[in-house]
């Protein structure tokens, strides 16, 4: 055990203890509720204490977390993700029969998650993003995708930077965004049952926000079914989301990147210059 | 082979540290007794190590250790498996949200050397993220709409 190893882990211990002490905070902002989980505080504190942020001003902090400790933290992320992977498995295993019975619609709509690539990738390229766009648009970028991208490209790679961006935005604004979209989406004319299945995106808090507001806006006799479909879909995304990213999402986003980047990428650069 | 064993040992060391972080974190955040959760965290680390070994043995599959960990836990906790009660009983003492805090602490620190690049992306990231949210939601809703119509449910 060397010094860097001890400094990094003790720092993370302090962050974890502090964040769990703060706990989950939620408050309403008129149009919705903002939910702040300990993990959000953890990532914010983690970024804040690095050499280029607060380390710039506090030299004592820079001594604890220098570029070397930052370098070391990367491989730790992949390993720290494994216990979460185990927990995902235990959430789905007991309900495996329900998952199998849930039907073709529930299964096939999971492929709709690839809609992120069709809509967001071209826009990301137009904005001048390069390999960051791969991570940012491959999926809705919750923890399982974080694991896949982290392992494939490294979390400190451009792809990793991209996914952490979408991940962070999702963690902070996801609940409020989907809380609004859930009820507003009925005006698109899509059936509430179809919209209910769309609520299960692999994040418990986002699914809850989207489906609850949808259930309130939907006809009263549909309310229970809306919530049931949403919860089942979210459970399914727990299983399929990961495989969908590995088997379809990543090949697809890389394919479209190769095709679209030469066209849209140049334009984005010219605009920026 | 020697090198592989060394690498796995190093990974085990880090996993044990992560396990300790989870135990302390969930004691503070969710009041879960550290002693009671020890068998659960040992099982979690065992499945994690198993997934790392499987990944080493199947380099051509390109299936991440994270997916192996989920799949292994899924199989162990299926209702008709003799392991289900035992496995779920213990791993229930490992809190789902509790496992997320150490990950994000490490992840936050690990992006530290790319902060300057990160800042440049900011407003673009926000726009792209919103497009991602819209894309996944309506992508799924449109497919579900078509299949439910075909099935005659709606």
Q: Which is nearest to A78 in space by CA: B130, B97, B69?
A: B69
Q: Which of B87, B96, B107 to mutate to test the interface with A (most CBs of A within 10 A)?
A: B107
Q: What angle (nearest 5°) sits at the alpha carbon of residue B68, between those of residues A163 and B5?
A: 105
A83, A98, A146, A166: which to substitute to probe chain B, counting the most B Cβ within 10 Å? A83
The count of other CB atoms within 10 Å of the CB of residue B46 is 13
Work out the burial of residue A144: count CB atoms within 10 Å of its CB; fewer than 13 is exposed, 13-18 middle, 19 or more buried.
buried
Residue among B72, B111, B136 minimizing CB distance to A89: B72
Contacts of B128 in chain A (CB under 8 A): 120, 123-124, 127, 129, 133, 136-137, 165-166
Question: Closest to B113 (Cβ–Cβ): which among A71, A93, A178?
Answer: A71
pLDDT the model gives residue A14: 96
Rg (CA), chain A: 20
Structural domain count, chain A: 1
The answer to whether A194 contacts B141, with C-beta atoms less than 8 Å apart, is yes
Nearest to A87 by CA among B12, B19, B82: B19
Tell me which chain A residues have a C-beta less than 8 angstroms from the C-beta of B38: none
State the pLDDT at residue A175: 65
Interval B52-63 mean pLDDT: 82
Per-residue pLDDT band for A172 (boundaries 50, 70, 90) equals low
The per-residue pLDDT for range A135-145, each reduced to its tens digit, is: 999 988 787 78
Which carries the bigger pLDDT value, residue A100 or residue A194? A194
Q: What is residue A100's predicted lDDT score, i.e. its pLDDT?
A: 63
Q: What is the pLDDT of residue A205?
A: 58
| B12 close contact with A: CB closer than 8 A | no
B111 versus A161: the higher-pLDDT residue is A161
Question: Touching check for B121 and chain A: CB below 8 Å?
Answer: yes
Residues contacting B152, CB < 8 A, separation 6+: none
Question: Whole-number mean pLDDT of chain B?
Answer: 88
Q: Which domain holds residue A104?
A: 77-272
Give residue for tokens 């049952």: A193
Cβ A137 vs Cβ A116: under 8 Å: yes
Q: pLDDT tens for residues A102-120?
A: 578 888 888 888 899 999 9
Is pLDDT at A150 greater than 50 in this prediction?
Answer: yes
Using pLDDT thresholds of 50, 70 and 90, give the confidence band for residue B103: confident
pLDDT at B43 over 80: yes
Does residue B117 have a pLDDT over 70? Answer: no
Is A46 among the domain residues? Answer: no
| Position A81 pLDDT exceeds 60 | yes
Question: Taking the C-alpha atoms of A45, B98, A6 and A81 in order, what is their torsion angle to the nearest 10 degrees?
Answer: -90
Shortest Cα distance, chain B CAs vs residue A249, angstroms: 12
ipTM, two decimals, is: 0.86
Average pLDDT over residues B1-8: 77
- The minimal CB distance from B103 to the residues A11, A80, A132 is found for A80
Using 50, 70 and 90 to split pLDDT, how confident is the model at A77?
confident
Least confident of A125-139, A241-255, B13-27, B55-69: B55-69
CA distance A201 to B136: 8
Per-position b or e across B104-125, b if 16+ CB within 10 A of its CB: bbbbbbbbbbbbeebeebeebb
B134 touches chain A (CB under 8 A): yes
CA–CA separation, A132 and A129 (whole Å): 6
Residue A30 lies in a domain: no
Contact partners, residue B19, CB within 8 Å, separation at least 6? A83, B41, B42, B44, B45
Q: Is residue A194 part of a domain?
A: yes
Domain range list for chain B: 2-110, 114-154
Q: Is residue A37 part of a domain?
A: no
A·B CB contacts under 8 A: 422
Average pLDDT of span B61-88: 86
User: Residue A108: its chain B contacts at CB < 8 A?
Assistant: 143-144, 147
Work out the average pLDDT over A194-208.
79
Q: What is the pLDDT of residues A5-55, one digit of tens each?
A: 999 999 999 999 999 999 877 666 565 455 567 877 888 898 889 888 888
Q: How far is B18 from chain A (nearest CA, A)?
A: 6
Query: How much is the pLDDT for A123?
Result: 95
Mean pLDDT across chain A: 82
Distance, in Å, from the CA atom of A60 to the CA atom of A16, rounded to the nearest integer, reads 21
| Per-residue pLDDT at A271 | 47
Which tokens in the block code for residue B97?
């949200």
Q: Taking residues A64-78, report their average pLDDT.
A: 86
Q: List residues bridging with A97 in a β-sheet.
A: none
Q: Which of A197-201, B33-37, B41-45, B131-135 comes out lowest in average pLDDT?
A: A197-201
* Percent over 70 (pLDDT), chain B: 91
User: To the nearest whole percent, how much of chain A has pLDDT over 70?
Assistant: 84
Provide the token pair at A173: 């604004």
User: How high is the pLDDT of residue A270?
Assistant: 46
Asked if A83's CB is within 8 angstroms of B22's CB, the reply is: yes
Using CB atoms, pick whichever of B24, B128, B145 lies closest to residue A16.
B24
A62 pLDDT tier (thresholds 50, 70, 90): confident
> Which of the pair, A132 or A220, is modelled with greater confidence?
A132
pLDDT bin (cut points 50, 70, 90) of residue A272 is very low
* Whole-angstrom distance, CA of residue B47 vs CA of residue B67: 11
pLDDT of residue A26: 66
Q: Which residues of B touch A39 (CB under 8 A)?
A: 97, 100-101, 103-104
Residue A223 lies in a domain: yes
Share of residues in chain A with pLDDT > 90 (%):
26
Residue B124 clears pLDDT 80, i.e. is over it: yes
């Amino acid at each position: 055990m060397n010094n860097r190893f001890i400094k990094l882990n003790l720092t993370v211990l302090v962050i974890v203890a502090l964040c769990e002490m703060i706990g989950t905070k939620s408050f309403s902002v008129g149009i919705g509720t903002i939910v702040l989980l300990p993990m959000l505080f953890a990532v914010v504190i983690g970024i804040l204490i690095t050499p280029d942020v607060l380390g710039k001003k506090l030299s004592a902090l820079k001594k604890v977390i220098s570029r070397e400790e930052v370098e070391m933290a990367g491989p730790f992320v992949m390993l720290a993700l494994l216990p979460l992977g185990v927990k995902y498995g235990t959430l789905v295993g007991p309900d495996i029969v329900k998952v199998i019975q849930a039907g073709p619609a529930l299964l096939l709509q999971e492929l709709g998650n690839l809609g992120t690539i069709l809509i967001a990738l071209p826009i990301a390229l137009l904005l001048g993003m390069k390999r960051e766009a791969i991570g940012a648009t491959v999926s809705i970028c919750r923890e399982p995708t974080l694991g896949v991208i982290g392992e494939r490209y490294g979390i400190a790679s451009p792809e990793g930077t991209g996914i952490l961006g979408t991940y962070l935005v999702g963690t902070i604004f996801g609940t409020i965004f989907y809380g609004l979209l859930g009820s507003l989406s009925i005006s698109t004319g899509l059936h509430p049952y179809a919209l209910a299945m769309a609520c299960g995106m692999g994040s418990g808090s986002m699914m809850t926000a989207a489906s609850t507001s949808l259930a309130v806006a939907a006809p009263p006799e549909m309310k229970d079914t809306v919530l049931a479909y949403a919860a089942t879909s979210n459970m399914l995304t727990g299983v399929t989301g990961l495989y969908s990213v590995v088997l379809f999402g990543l090949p697809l986003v890389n394919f479209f990147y190769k095709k679209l980047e030469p066209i849209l990428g140049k334009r984005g650069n010219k605009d920026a210059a | 082979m020697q090198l592989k064993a060394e690498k796995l040992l190093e990974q085990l060391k880090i996993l044990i540290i992560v396990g300790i972080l989870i135990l302390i974190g969930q004691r503070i955040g969710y009041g879960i007794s550290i002693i009671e959760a020890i068998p659960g965290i040992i099982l979690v680390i065992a499945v994690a190590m198993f997934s790392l070994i499987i990944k080493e043995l199947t380099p051509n599959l390109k299936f991440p250790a994270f997916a192996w960990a989920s799949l292994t836990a899924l199989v162990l906790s299926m209702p008709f498996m003799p392991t289900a009660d035992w496995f779920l009983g213990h791993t229930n003492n490992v809190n789902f949200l509790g496992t997320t805090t150490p990950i994000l602490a490490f992840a936050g620190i690990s992006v530290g050397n790319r902060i300057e690049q990160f800042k440049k992306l900011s407003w673009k990231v926000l726009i792209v993220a919103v497009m991602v949210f819209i894309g996944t939601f309506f992508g799924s809703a449109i497919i579900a709409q078509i299949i439910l119509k075909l099935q005659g449910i709606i």
